[in-house]
Structure 1
Amino acid sequence: MRRSASIVVVGLLALSLAGCALPGAEVQLPPAGAVPDYQLGGSYDPADGVGIVGRDRSSDPADGVYSICYVNGFQTQPGELDEWPEELLLAGDDGPVFDPDWPDEALLDTSTPEKRESIAAIVGPWIEGCATAGFQAVEFDNLDTYSRSDGALSLDDNLALATRFVEIAHDAGLAAGQKNAAEDARALHDQAGFDFAVVEECAAYRECGAYTEVYGEHVIDIEYTDELPRPFEDVCADPETPRSVVLRDRLLRIAGREGHVFETCD
């Protein structure tokens, strides 16, 4: 997601960090260059020096840091398929179409204005709930479902829904973040209105520039140990790598558990 810079008065900053988002307030962007942590696998106290934390919408925001709320806006979450009306799931020959990489996540049908508005009616309260909980921003995952829909969905379909999500986020006082979808960054920023980007493995796939050309320093990159093609210190030294970057284990394990990895650039 892409974000445009904004200035926030000290009073609003204090209120938002205290967990009090103001409806319609000017949004606050993630601090440029701050150390991030990505905690979708479970919440834990951020390490010293961390300035940005991403957590699922079902979790509370991290205290005292800029907190981003994860929302799966274009696919169902694992275990939530039955909570969605059948008519809002993209239908294939054998029933709902599932993400091949996440076979417990069905694609939402964004193909008509009526279906998009019905999806927004469900996701909208989640976004507003992120603001009520005290998050400063929201990231929307799976913006690129059209690319695995076998032509049933289009980029324009998803842009239209993304634009609605961004409007809801901004009305709630939240910055809106693009998640991945490097090839669509310019359209998502310019047409849908995204303020910043949360990206996975842009250094591994050599696509960080596609994000930083659009969002400048407001790009947060998460690299993973199992797919890192070069030493992390080389990633850190690469001028193409965003300043806000962290190396995590693929399962995003809680600190203290076996396999947990959290490494940042010096």
Structure 2
Amino acid sequence: MTDTTRPRLRRGLAVLAAVTAAVAVSLPACSTAGAAAPAVTLPPVHAGFDYQINKPYQPPAGVRVVSRDHTASPAQGLYNICYVNAFQAQPGAEDQWPGLLLKDAGGQVVYDEDWGEAMLDTRTDKNRRAIAAKVDTWIDSCAARGFDAVEPDNLDTFDRTGLLSESDAKAMVKLLADHAHEQGLAVAQKNTAQLSTERADTGLDFAIAEECGEWDECGDYVEGFGDHVIVIEYGQKYFTKTCGGYGDRLSVVLRDRDVLSPGDAGYVRKVC
């Protein structure tokens, strides 16, 4: 289960921002035309992974899967995951979400204080569909530029306020997953370990788990997604632990907390 007291280290500085041996699966369509959804391709399991959601750079040798911000271009010849902030507004972008920001009883916008991001109000179907309409444009751009999957971040926003619920989050991400599948993209569950076995409700295909070794959650993700789990650790101690328990099955990487680029002071990247 998600521990709401944990540090928020999920994505560094994301405001800036091969298919070989992959497994193809057909997913049910949500198209009103009744046509079958395109087959989506999951990331290859136990493959070299790099998390580049800050600034893109030439992937290191051995990398087969990379995640980049939706404003970046995919890495040629690799499996590419497109990062989108789907449940919160980027800092300073509140005016891009008119009528869709979560407010408290006093009418004040509710913020994720760790990241300075206004939370989006997913409590009604009307709001969820309005939010999805905007996020779907990013998803469409990801598909058009050749990404293979999408990573909707902040699925766990409901864990940071009593105003949102788990059911709100599941309904929201299901809308995004259905649309992404129609575009031929697989969809990652970002964190939120307790939802891993509820894929019928979320429509999610694989997991990207931050710090699951630190919080003893890796097994929860494996229960729901098998070996289709990508793990990012930010501490050497927990990276070593995760490699010892899952390094022969899952994609595991150690990254610096700010997801820096090679040559930057503080850049860290290791694999099992």
Name the SS of the counterpart of 2:144 in structure 1: helix
Structure 1 runs of 4+ with >4 Å offset: none
Q: Which residue matches 1:33?
A: 46
Any stretches of 5+ residues in structure 1 without a counterpart? 9-22
Matched, 1:42 2:55: yes
Q: Which residue matches 1:197?
A: 207
Higher helix share: 1
Q: Which residue matches 2:108?
A: 95
Name the SS of the counterpart of 1:95 in structure 2: coil
Supply the distance in 2 between the matched residues of 1:229 and 1:100 (Cα, whole angstroms).
27
Matched, 1:66 2:76: no
Count of residues in correspondence between the two structures: 240
Question: What is the one-letter code of the residue matched to 2:212?
Answer: C
Q: Which residue matches 1:213?
A: 223
TM-score by length of 2: 0.83
Q: Which residue matches 1:14?
A: none
| Aligned pairs (5 A) from 1:60-139 | 60-85=73-98, 87-92=99-104, 93=106, 95-102=108-115, 104-139=116-151
Question: What is the one-letter code of the residue matched to 1:125?
Answer: T
1:154 to 155, 165, 169: 165
List per-residue Cα deviations over 1:185-218 (Å, max 9, x = no partner): 222x121110000110111111100001110111
Question: What is the one-letter code of the residue matched to 1:262?
Answer: R
TM-score by length of 1: 0.85
Name the SS of the counterpart of 2:152 in structure 1: strand
Q: Is the 8 A contact 1:221 1:242 kept in 2?
A: no
Matched, 1:52 2:71: no
Matched, 1:249 2:256: yes
Q: Is the 8 A contact 1:212 1:242 kept in 2?
A: no
Supply the distance in 2 between the matched residues of 1:212 and 1:242 (Cα, whole angstroms).
10
Structure 1 position 241, deviation (Å): 7.8
Judged with a 3 Å threshold, the aligned counterparts in structure 2 of structure 1 residues 248 and 174 are, in CA distance, closer, same or farther, namely same
Name the SS of the counterpart of 1:71 in structure 2: strand
Supply the distance in 2 between the matched residues of 1:148 and 1:234 (Cα, whole angstroms).
27
Matched, 1:175 2:182: no
Supply the distance in 1 between the matched residues of 2:108 and 2:248 (Cα, whole angstroms).
41
Q: Which residue matches 2:24?
A: 6
Q: Is the 8 A contact 1:61 1:135 kept in 2?
A: yes
Question: What is the one-letter code of the residue matched to 2:112?
Answer: D
Structure 1 position 69, deviation (Å): 0.4
Any stretches of 5+ residues in structure 2 without a counterpart? 1-22, 27-35
Supply the distance in 2 between the matched residues of 1:160 and 1:7 (Cα, whole angstroms).
22
Aligned CA RMSD, in angstroms, stands at: 1.8
Structure 1 position 94, deviation (Å): 5.4
Supply the distance in 1 between the matched residues of 2:249 and 2:70 (Cα, whole angstroms).
25
Q: Is the 8 A contact 2:196 2:223 kept in 1?
A: no
Q: Is the 8 A contact 2:234 2:257 kept in 1?
A: yes
Q: Is the 8 A contact 2:213 2:241 kept in 1?
A: no
Q: Is the 8 A contact 2:40 2:186 kept in 1?
A: yes
Judged with a 3 Å threshold, the aligned counterparts in structure 2 of structure 1 residues 233 and 148 are, in CA distance, closer, same or farther, namely closer
Question: What is the one-letter code of the residue matched to 1:51?
Answer: R
Question: What is the one-letter code of the residue matched to 2:24?
Answer: S
| Aligned pairs (5 A) from 1:214-233 | 214-225=224-235, 228-230=236-238, 232-233=239-240
